[in-house]
Amino acid sequence: MILDYETLKFIWWILIGVLLIGFAIADGMDMGVGVLLPFLGKTDEERRVIINTVGPHWDGNQVWLITAGGAIFAAWPAVYAAAFSGFYMAMLLVLFALFFRPVGFDYRSKIEDPRWRNSWDWALFVGGLVPALIFGVAFGNLLQGVPFQFDEFLRSHYQGSLLTALLPLLNPFALLAGIISLAMLVMHGAMWLQIRTEAPVSDRARSVAIWLGLVVVLAFAGAGLWVAYGIDGFRVVTQPALDAPSNPLAKTVVAERGAWLSIYHTVPVAILAPIIGFGGILLAVLLSVLRRPGLGFIASALGMAGIISTAGLSMFPFILPSSLDPNSSLTVWDAPSSHFTLTVMFWAVVLLLPLVLSYTAWCYTRMWGKVTVDGIRAGSHTAY
């Protein structure tokens, strides 16, 4: 079966969205646990309990991020190139923070020195906090537009220097988006700890999940109002056929207030995304109160998927809007690779994704169960 170019462009928009959501749910959980580590673990044994809830899985979960980056590079090369110019310093900051995770997990328990172990606990905290915050900041800046443009030869030019590129990204709306990202990932990690640990760690995680869930709901609502009344969105006025070869300058785009909400008028079913976002997080809070963390974890995952989908749907068909020259904005229809490239990648996903999901499910099944202080003392099935 050969899919037409227009269909493949849309499919890859969905697939990359799924990869980003999968990363947020799987590796976001690990990052959330890392952020909570110095606070929920009052003793070294409790901290080892917390680490061992994610220790066997964190590196596999991080593959979601690597896969998403590779997919963007192959499916949307123009987005990859322009984004690295605009977010170069932010991406380096995330990369350096991520360095702490493998080293922290592997080295922490090698030496029985409280100062040594405490230092690596805070390193794991940084390795979870910085990426969780910066990813949200990046989404906040996408909604406002990135200062780049294409010349007549379709060469991307970014306005700003390398050393000063980070500060403009830390604007108020982007920081609010960063708070949403950080709060929902840490909440998700707290839901996981409720499942995999016993009191008192699980009780502390329960309290954190309840409060952070309320923070996510309030911040998400505030961001929605800000998008509606405080920043300009982008709207395509004219464009070539959707199955035409990629050419970002062949369309006309305008920036106007409220444009990011237009999809909820043209495709009313899209309103399900923010409803699922609010509903999933609130349900997770309720289930934490009722001490049903298993269902709460599923609700939290649905809420995160709804929040991320809300951002993606609101921007559709834009992927990387340009605040410098709206016509240079990259969309689902003019950013992708060739028809052949998208086709080969699509069939690779069809063949390999079920295998990856099956293997991941098997790993979680084989290493399931609560991690306890007694188990840590006995040294059974613990490596960290």
- Domains identified in the chain, total number: 1
99, part of any domain: yes
Helices (H), ranges, the chain:
5-40, 44-54, 58-61, 63-75, 77-86, 88-107, 114-144, 172-196, 201-229, 263-266, 272-289, 293-315, 339-366, 373-378
327, part of any domain: no
Residues pairing with 157 in the sheet: 149
383, part of any domain: no
Strands 318-320 and 330-331: antiparallel
Check residue 246 and report its DSSP letter: P
Contact 277, 307 (CB under 8 A): yes
212, part of any domain: yes
Cα 340 to Cα 309: distance, rounded to the nearest angstrom: 28
Contact 7, 339 (CB under 8 A): no
Q: How many residues does the chain have?
A: 384
144, part of any domain: yes
Contact 83, 68 (CB under 8 A): no
* One pLDDT digit (tens) per residue for the chain, 384 residues: 678 899 999 999 999 999 999 999 998 999 999 999 999 999 989 999 999 998 888 888 888 888 888 899 999 998 988 887 778 888 888 999 999 998 988 888 888 889 999 999 999 999 999 999 999 999 999 999 888 888 888 888 777 665 556 777 888 999 999 999 999 999 999 999 999 999 899 999 999 999 999 999 999 999 999 999 999 999 999 888 888 888 888 888 999 998 999 999 999 999 999 999 999 999 999 999 999 999 999 999 999 999 999 999 999 999 999 988 899 999 999 999 999 999 999 999 999 888 888 888 888 888 788 887 877 777 755 567
214, part of any domain: yes
Which structural domain range is residue 22 located in? Answer: 5-230+339-378
172, part of any domain: yes
pTM here is 0.92
267, part of any domain: no
Contact 125, 37 (CB under 8 A): yes
